[in-house]
Structure 1
Amino acid sequence: MPDDLTGTIQDTPLATALSERYLAYALSTIMSRSLPDVRDGLKPVHRRLIFAMRQLKLDPGSGFKKCARVVGDVMGKFHPHGDMSIYEALVRLAQDFASRYPLIEGQGNFGNIDGDNAAAMRYTESRMTEIAAALLDGIDEDTVDFRPTYDNEDSEPIVLPGAFPNLLANGAAGIAVGMATSIPPHNAGELCEAAIHLIRNPGTETAKLLDFVRGPDFPTGGELVEDRETLRLAYETGRGSLRVRARWSRSDLKGGMWQIVVTEIPYQVQKSRLIEQVAELLAEKKLPLLGDIRDESTEHVRIVLEPKSRTVDPDMLMASVFRATALETRFSMNMNVLDADRTPRVMNLAEMLQAWLDHRHIVLQRRSRHRLAAIARRLEILEGYITAFLNLDEVIRIIRTEDEPKPALIAAFSLTDVQAEAVLNMRLRSLRKLEEMELRREHKTLSAEQKALNAMLDDPAKRWARIEAEIEATRQKFGAGPLGARRTSIGGAPNVIEVTAEAFIEREPLTVILSDKGWVRALKGHAVADAELKFKEGDRLKTLLRCSSVDRIAVFATNGRVYTVRAADLPRGRGDGQAIRLLIEMGNEDEVANLFVADAAARYLVANDQGRGFIVAGSELVAEKRTGKQILTVKPGEEAKFCLPVGGDHLAVIGENRKLLVFPLDQIPEMARGAGVILQKYKDGGLADAKSFTLAEGLTWRLGDKTRTETRLAEWLGARGQAGRLPPSGFPRTGVFGASVPGDGAG
């Protein structure tokens, strides 16, 4: 290559040029911008901010300086990027809702949880916190390496000594090229306890460390709703997704009303945007259980949620809100960091803590060696001083008489060059006798410290004991008090609360009216007078059913199908109602046999008009579609007769021929669907009615407004499928048993 490249043109394939430049950009982004160092948990911009504030003497006990001064020093000396990006990084380090343990103490407007921006840097002031000072502790003692700044006019640390577990305590987030990082903040006290356990028990697995580090500890609090197994997998692999919910409580009001008060929201959720989101969903009627939302926050978060009505279940209300809004978010964990060799990789919890401990071990060794070198230099000088005091008169004579006293002192007392220089620079006031005693005392103290440091460097157990003591001091300082108290509670995986359509309906009593010609309507309340029941000309009452607005009504038709209608969907008012065929897809040739509220825990007898039937579970009598669900199979010329609840131990059936048969209930099979078995045989006609009862209590039927019970039933007892005998005297001429309660929906 020529020395002067001016005007030189090189032919390079475009793919090669692009790959080289893109690789350089990618490495710069990964190494110098987006990924934190596992040792101090800082990205370059954060490290440079703290180092520049140290040079400006912005210690925790000093006064504040304008943020513009800090940003200017960082940009001019260390970080050749835009001033706004540097200021945004500074602001984030000072926000107590963004950083679990702020590294910078701000004075002025540094933004808020609503998402409002901080004031301009010329208005705000800042200084370091105690935690930032802990990260810098020992930086002047050769504990870390330095490198030249971008203009080679100064030097900056590659990494900070890091006496605080900053990476896991404050977390990190960043997007590099081809990779990203997302580390949640944790409780510093728990991290220190886990690190101490790791020192005492090297090689401890991540699962055991979770006994100490219970999970993330976000600065905005909230509740982590994940089970321990999910946490274990996330921390063992370094990747996972964790659910965080807002913290809420129910507050009772007058008149039976209540409201939900939200006091903590998930991490990195802007409160104002959250309120807007909920308000938009309310306007779109996508939160039918929620009536209103208010923001009553001051310095502390207070969001009030009002239910649509007081009958709404609070847990179901919050389940619907969690599902649709940012009151529940997922934090994606991706613990991708630069290791001690500056290589990006995903680490688990144990590896991160061990990397921090290894860094602290190196820092301790380098600090000790630096201190030993300083002690050696001072001891050398002290020995020269002591020699001079022991030969004070001769030293004075040499200095007064010799033209070159330094070589003469070296030759006379075997001093080193450093010792001779120190003696020559000694002040006259230091020649007093007390000074000799102080020198000997200092020499003794430094010799003892030198011996202790050498012993520690020679014994790994002593080094780790020293590190353990330092970490315990960090735990006592930062892991206790209001700052160190855990903010995010750890809860197990919540029970799945199914938000049903009934939850959106206010519960109230209803009376459902079904006419012979299939017109249905619902009247409010259960005390419905007969005078209120008016029908079209030629129509009359078929079924009167008392239920609730949240009930699902089972409609059993003559085609053997069961349909489900919501009581709340029925037309209200005093009119004629609506044709039931408009609510369900039932053929014009089919009729309603029964209308009732199915009990999932009960059993029902379904039968056709020819006396065939079976028992079906109540849970089977629910149809999700308008077309219904086939329960009883009917042949051409047959019709389903009824679907009645059964209980007791016997069944009484009576045919249109007025023949009564009583047989044990267990002779009827229980099925989900089918044609059934023969209940009673007929020469003429078919099945008229059936009723289950307990044999010991007797068979009851209705005569007008009265009832009669027959206990002597041996004459009619038989087996299923027999013809039976004429009923006892006094049996209704209608040939049916009659409903035990008027209007129970039996038809």
Structure 2
Amino acid sequence: MNEKVSEDNIIQVDISQEMKSSYLDYSMSVIVGRALPDARDGLKPVHRRILYGMYQMGLRPDSAYKKSARVVGEVMGKYHPHGDMALYDALVRMAQGFSMRYQLVDGQGNFGSVDGDSPAAMRYTEARLTPIAMTMLADIEKQTVNFVPNFDDTMKEPVVLPTMIPNLILNGSDGIAVGMATRIPPHNLSEVVSAIIELIKDPKMDTNELLKYVKGPDFPTGGYIVGRKGITDAYKRGRGKITIRAKINEEVSQTGRKRLVVSEIPFQVNKARLIEQIAELVRNRKIEGISDIRDESDREGLRVVIELKRGEDVKSVIHKLLKLTSLETTFGIIMLALDDGRPRILTLKEILEIFIKHRREVVTRRSEFLLNKAEERAHILQGLMVAVDNIDEVVAIIKKASDVDNARRTLMKRFKLSESQAQAILDMKLSRLTTMERRKIAEELENTLKEIDYLRAILGAPELLDEEIVKELKTIRERFGDERKTTIIDEDEIAGSYEVIPREEQVVIVTRAGYLKRMSETSFTRLRSRIMPVDKDKDIDYPIQIIRCDYDDNLMVFTEEGRCYSPKVSLLPEVGGGQRGKTLRVLLGSEREERISFAISTKDGNERYVVFVTKNGLIKRSKLNLFFNARRKGIIAMILKNGDRVVSGTLTTGKDDLIVSTARGQVIRLSEEDIRPSGRNAGGVIGIKLLKDDHVIKITNAEDKKFLILVTSSGYMKKVSLNEFGKKRRASMGVKSFSDIVIVGEVISVEAVNNEDTVLVSLSNGKTYQLSVTKVKELKRSSRGVKIKEVTGRKRVMNLIKFPVR
């Protein structure tokens, strides 16, 4: 860094260089010293210092509790010179059973709750270490880990704990550093330890083989993990996303009314806020069918009761609750930890390998320490044996010696002893001169020599070292292993009797007023022309689309504002023809109401496209899979300008012929391949050149179709061969479809059809009727068309749509 010193001894530095240097120092301090855990013991510095400080205070599991304030003061004064509340918060978390899969601190008093209640002040609560925490500190006094000076260089603290458990993966970690974050979920000890044992035996195991032992995350609050893809992604790449779902059971009250009982909730969900969230949605009528909600949780466990209105569909309510509340959440996994002091995204196998490497180093250093101690003890015992075997001579030497130093030197010279052996003989009590004591010394020496042989064997043979580690891991598993709390279910598996999926095909109806509803194929076939309510007190509504799909499909709903939403078909109300259904805002709990332009249902959309057209004649083509991640708040589908809006869209294969039509009767036939695909955050290109006061009304896919069926507001309808509409270049005006638009009225709808198809015509009096395409007369493009007999007086045609093919 370039520094200049002025005459006033003021150092001048370049601010940009100073910012870079200082921010880098700050970043590394946060990353290494605060926010990220060490991959070996899974602890951040604050947690490590708390555990070590409590260990030094003697707060063992069998000792008395001590005030948390005392622990905080001890740790803050000796190892962690930061805020007392930050320290206390870290201590509290390690004592919370709903935060830690395996608690490291045994707390006494109010340490908070799953409702988000704050813990009591540190002067009231008490704490001590748990038995499993002691396994993390075992052998720490045996030179198993390195120590460094504390902040004021008055004492030492461990760099890492010699943990016997893989704490990083067992309890997980959560932290935000500078430019990076970690979020590791907790796991089951029995599963993880079994995987480590097998990995020690076969280091070439891959992630797929490890998945046989480690099924997935295991949260302290239980619940369900839906799907296995996110788990596999996280274990193989270090990143993934999983869906966590509450455990909900159905009960019937004594009065015969149904209720839902929530017994387990997703990890890190605040129960009190969850109840408030459900109550708010009920008040705002975004969830209907709930009459009451109450919290019946007690010491026996969590229990939230949701009372349903009489006759309410249980499946529908559950799906809305999962969709709109925290009863179903996602957990983004980022397995980031410090490996050799550097932040690194780790796979499951790498995390286990780092732990194994750490244990090998700890056991090696412990064995070296114990070997040195054993050799020293054996040396002393050998000297004592010499003294006992020559007791009379030893006593005589000591009696004749003028002082202790003289006695020590004489013993060393006479029996060829070391100074430490001679000193041990001098320190020996007379009571140890008995025959029984001699036998004890001999036995101790024999056992010590055996221990030396065993420790030397461990240090000289890696396979024996691994056997020692495996033996310790099996002991840990037997002592602390437990059953899973979180159940993993496949995406198509419904746990807890959430629903029974109807196998019958569903029909979804989308209306101009923005309502969506569904009905079974049987109901739809029976109603046919009576699928819409007729309410004289409300504006006339009519269908703009009818979609056939399965119950468990997802819809992609595109709005005039250029956004995409993706509600599940199962969320849509199953109603009869006399009911309107529900809007997107009610279904998804979104903040604003938007008019629906069109909707799509598809299971296999990876190689398909969606083509949009706007009122002002712009056209856009995008891959359908760009919209698969549409969220509750929606995602951008198309950028619009100058008050333009999306009026229509269609699903394509990438090589189809498309028909774009306008209100004044202009029609253009385009090749889809002339429209370059673009991303979501793009606008469109000119599709059709518009006359003054004209606007686009529809785009339809003409692939494998023979005719266009056209209808005007005044009721003129005709069927025209597609051969009369030759392909044009994009941005041209196309051709006329009616000779005198003033007489026949504006074109309302255009559909590409075959004679086997059926269309549904909606009139201004609210009635609809179906018509077979074979009954529509085929005419020339320039003709006026035939007047629909049902359109009389002031009646007008509102829309014409094609029935979807079964």
Instruction: Name the TM-score, length of structure 1 as normaliser.
Output: 0.68
1:640 deviates by 8.3
Distance 1:635 1:418 in 2: 113
Identity of aligned residues (%): 40
Match of 1:447 in 2: 449
Letter paired with 1:277: Q
User: In structure 2, do the counterparts of structure 1 residues 288 and 419 end up closer, same or farther at CA, with 3 Å as the change threshold?
Assistant: same
1:488 deviates by 0.6
3-state DSSP of counterpart to 1:380:
helix
Match of 2:318 in 1: 318
3-state DSSP of counterpart to 2:757:
coil
Residues 1:436 and 2:438 aligned together: yes
User: In structure 2, do the counterparts of structure 1 residues 636 and 287 end up closer, same or farther at CA, with 3 Å as the change threshold?
Assistant: closer
User: In structure 2, do the counterparts of structure 1 residues 310 and 386 end up closer, same or farther at CA, with 3 Å as the change threshold?
Assistant: same
Letter paired with 2:273: R
1:10 deviates by 2.6
Residues 1:357 and 2:345 aligned together: no
User: In structure 2, do the counterparts of structure 1 residues 384 and 8 end up closer, same or farther at CA, with 3 Å as the change threshold?
Assistant: farther
User: In structure 2, do the counterparts of structure 1 residues 487 and 423 end up closer, same or farther at CA, with 3 Å as the change threshold?
Assistant: same
User: In structure 2, do the counterparts of structure 1 residues 362 and 553 end up closer, same or farther at CA, with 3 Å as the change threshold?
Assistant: same
Match of 1:280 in 2: 280
Within-5 A mapping of 1:721-740: none
1:261 deviates by 0.6
In 1, are the aligned partners of 2:296 and 2:304 still within 8 Å (CA)? yes
Within-5 A mapping of 1:426-505: 426-479=428-481, 484-494=482-492
Distance 2:84 2:711 in 1: 83
Distance 1:28 1:238 in 2: 24
1:671 deviates by 3.1
Letter paired with 1:352: I
1:495 deviates by 7.0
Within-5 A mapping of 1:171-320: 171-226=172-227, 228-254=228-254, 256-299=256-299, 300-312=301-313, 314-320=314-320
3-state DSSP of counterpart to 1:472:
helix
Within-5 A mapping of 1:369-380: 369-380=368-379
Distance 2:40 2:172 in 1: 13
Match of 1:583 in 2: 541
User: In structure 2, do the counterparts of structure 1 residues 180 and 395 end up closer, same or farther at CA, with 3 Å as the change threshold?
Assistant: same
In 2, are the aligned partners of 1:64 and 1:127 still within 8 Å (CA)? yes
Match of 2:164 in 1: 163
User: In structure 2, do the counterparts of structure 1 residues 8 and 409 end up closer, same or farther at CA, with 3 Å as the change threshold?
Assistant: farther
Match of 2:735 in 1: none
Within-5 A mapping of 1:9-88: 9-88=10-89
Match of 2:532 in 1: 566
- Please say which of residues 201-210 and 16-25 is displaced more in the overlay: 16-25
Deviations 1:604-641 (A, max 9, x none): xxxxxxxxxxxxxxx9xxxx99x999996679999889
Distance 1:93 1:344 in 2: 23
Distance 2:155 2:199 in 1: 38
Residues 1:415 and 2:414 aligned together: no
Q: Show structure 2 runs of 5+ residues with no match.
A: 1-7, 503-519, 545-575, 579-600, 602-647, 650-696, 701-706, 719-753, 760-770, 778-785, 787-806
1:437 deviates by 1.4
Deviations 1:533-592 (A, max 9, x none): xxxxxxxxxxxxxx9999799776xxxxxxx7534xx34xxxxx569x833499xxxxxx
In 2, are the aligned partners of 1:149 and 1:155 still within 8 Å (CA)? yes
Distance 1:371 1:52 in 2: 25
Distance 2:312 2:67 in 1: 56
Match of 1:655 in 2: none
Match of 2:756 in 1: 670
Match of 1:705 in 2: none
Within-5 A mapping of 1:611-630: none
In 2, are the aligned partners of 1:104 and 1:129 still within 8 Å (CA)? yes
Distance 2:712 2:411 in 1: 130
1:679 deviates by 11
3-state DSSP of counterpart to 1:292:
strand
3-state DSSP of counterpart to 1:147:
strand
1:122 deviates by 0.6
In 1, are the aligned partners of 2:41 and 2:167 still within 8 Å (CA)? yes
User: In structure 2, do the counterparts of structure 1 residues 33 and 139 end up closer, same or farther at CA, with 3 Å as the change threshold?
Assistant: same
Letter paired with 2:84: D
User: In structure 2, do the counterparts of structure 1 residues 159 and 553 end up closer, same or farther at CA, with 3 Å as the change threshold?
Assistant: same
In 2, are the aligned partners of 1:633 and 1:675 still within 8 Å (CA)? no
1:217 deviates by 0.6
Match of 1:514 in 2: none
Q: Which has the larger radius of gyration?
A: 1
1:45 deviates by 0.9
User: In structure 2, do the counterparts of structure 1 residues 291 and 12 end up closer, same or farther at CA, with 3 Å as the change threshold?
Assistant: same
Q: Show structure 1 runs of 5+ residues with no match.
A: 1-6, 504-546, 557-563, 572-576, 587-595, 599-618, 642-667, 681-685, 687-747
User: In structure 2, do the counterparts of structure 1 residues 585 and 11 end up closer, same or farther at CA, with 3 Å as the change threshold?
Assistant: closer
Match of 1:661 in 2: none
Distance 2:52 2:356 in 1: 22
In 2, are the aligned partners of 1:553 and 1:565 still within 8 Å (CA)? no
Distance 1:268 1:578 in 2: 48
Distance 1:92 1:156 in 2: 22
- Give the alignment's Cα RMSD to 1 decimal: 3.6
Distance 1:631 1:16 in 2: 69
In 2, are the aligned partners of 1:34 and 1:175 still within 8 Å (CA)? yes
Instruction: Name the TM-score, length of structure 2 as normaliser.
Output: 0.63
Q: How many residues align?
A: 551
Distance 1:585 1:20 in 2: 64
In 2, are the aligned partners of 1:49 and 1:90 still within 8 Å (CA)? yes
